[in-house]
């Protein structure tokens, strides 16, 4: 069953929903609503990583996320902490989070690897080349799919050598992070190359700019949910372990269809006893 990770940005400046969930009560209510609509994981982030975003002090990031993480985990919600800072990740794990979703794959903070080694948390290793304020200048590849696959495989190997069990690692191609629209579509179109690395793959395309560029009139972020759900379904068809999204209800429908599609493709042929013909009639 594909995992749906619902996005909860408790930030004032995220590209799609900045400022909507900065109040703790509103954030928790929204997260619980996503769980009711089918989210398996709530990904709580306190620092925007949109292109051009400036870094946030660790103390401020922790102030934003920890009360929300605590309340959600107290209510039995599976929580992922979206952070590049080991100190924030450690505090969130202490508060009950079980997944660290680091857009830098552990490269932004030299203490992150040691934290992951010392805990039993799962770790999302995203492909990353630099911070948001300069990443667009780093979108240069010989073959983006092969380059990203090689980088992720190497980064995972580093963590495994340090003592992280492979079953705790999840890979993310980092759509939009030092990637052009052409790069994003290449990674999605050849997602099987990343799945073939043998580790779970998380795809985060929800509401991103390359989807708006594709749609007529350059749809706003909130108008990209149908396209986002379509990408999620296709990613699942091609082997994604999970998808990270804003609109959980629409994505749940799309992913359930894709999961059923995959089950049908993998099912063994069975003798038709006439039931199927009666159902079609």
Q: Is 29 a catalytic residue?
A: no
Instruction: Please tell me what DSSP assigns to residue 12.
Output: S
Q: Work out the pLDDT band at 272, boundaries 50, 70, 90.
A: low
Q: What is the pLDDT of residue 270?
A: 66
Q: What is the pLDDT of residue 187?
A: 98
Contact 251, 232 (CB under 8 A): yes
**Tens digits of residue pLDDT in 48-62:** 776 666 778 999 999
Which of 122, 168, 208, 224 is the catalytic position? 208
Q: What is the pLDDT of residue 139?
A: 86
Burial class of residue 41, CB neighbours in 10 A (0-12, 13-18, 19+): buried
Which of 179, 207, 244, 252 is the catalytic position? 244
Contact 192, 239 (CB under 8 A): yes
Q: What is the pLDDT of residue 276?
A: 53
Contact 146, 193 (CB under 8 A): yes
Q: Work out the pLDDT band at 274, boundaries 50, 70, 90.
A: low
Q: Which tokens is 163 given? A: 């003592």
Q: Work out the pLDDT band at 229, boundaries 50, 70, 90.
A: very high
Q: Work out the pLDDT band at 131, boundaries 50, 70, 90.
A: confident
Q: Is 244 a catalytic residue?
A: yes
Residues counted in the chain: 281
Tell me which of 1 and 178 has the higher pLDDT.
178
Q: Is the pLDDT of residue 11 over 90?
A: no
How confident is the model over 5-13, as a mean pLDDT? Answer: 86
**Tens digits of residue pLDDT in 85-120:** 999 999 999 999 999 999 999 999 999 999 999 999
Q: What is the pLDDT of residue 273?
A: 55
> Of the ranges 159-168, 181-190, 213-222, 267-276, which one carries the lowest mean pLDDT score?
267-276
Query: What pTM, to 2 d.p., does this model score?
Result: 0.89
Q: What is the pLDDT of residue 93?
A: 98
Q: Is the pLDDT of residue 83 over 70?
A: yes
Distance CA 111, CA 149 (A): 24
Burial class of residue 265, CB neighbours in 10 A (0-12, 13-18, 19+): exposed
Instruction: Return the SS3 of 264.
Output: helix
Tell me which of 279 and 196 has the higher pLDDT.
196
The whole-chain average pLDDT of the chain stands at 91
Distance CA 48, CA 221 (A): 15
**Tens digits of residue pLDDT in 13-23:** 555 555 576 78
């Amino acid at each position: 069953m594909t995992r749906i990770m619902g996005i909860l940005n408790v930030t004032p400046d995220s590209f799609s929903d900045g400022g909507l969930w900065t109040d703790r009560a509103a954030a928790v209510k929204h997260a619980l609503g996503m769980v009711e609509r089918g989210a398996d994981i709530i990904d709580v982030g306190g620092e925007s990583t949109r292109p051009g975003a400036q870094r946030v002090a660790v103390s401020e990031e922790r102030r934003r996320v920890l009360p929300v993480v605590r309340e959600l985990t107290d209510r039995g919600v599976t929580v992922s902490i979206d952070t590049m800072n080991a100190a924030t990740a450690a505090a969130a794990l202490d508060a009950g989070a079980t997944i660290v979703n680091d857009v830098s794959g552990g490269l932004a903070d030299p203490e992150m690897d040691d934290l992951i080694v010392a805990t039993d948390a799962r770790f999302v290793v995203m492909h990353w080349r630099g911070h948001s304020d300069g990443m667009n200048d780093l979108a240069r590849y010989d073959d983006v799919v092969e380059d990203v696959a090689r980088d992720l495989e190497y980064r995972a190997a580093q963590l495994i050598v340090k003592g992280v069990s492979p079953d705790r690692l999840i890979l993310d191609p980092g759509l939009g992070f030092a990637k052009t629209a052409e790069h994003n579509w290449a990674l999605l179109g050849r997602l099987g190359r990343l799945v073939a690395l043998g580790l779970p793959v998380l795809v985060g395309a929800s509401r991103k700019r390359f989807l708006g560029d594709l749609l007529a009139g350059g749809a706003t972020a909130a108008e990209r949910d149908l396209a986002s759900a379509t990408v999620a379904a296709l990613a699942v068809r091609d082997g994604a372990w999970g998808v990270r999204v804003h609109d959980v209800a629409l994505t749940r429908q799309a992913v359930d269809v894709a999961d059923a599609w995959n089950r049908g493709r993998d099912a063994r042929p069975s003798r038709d006893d006439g039931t199927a013909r009666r159902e079609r009639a």
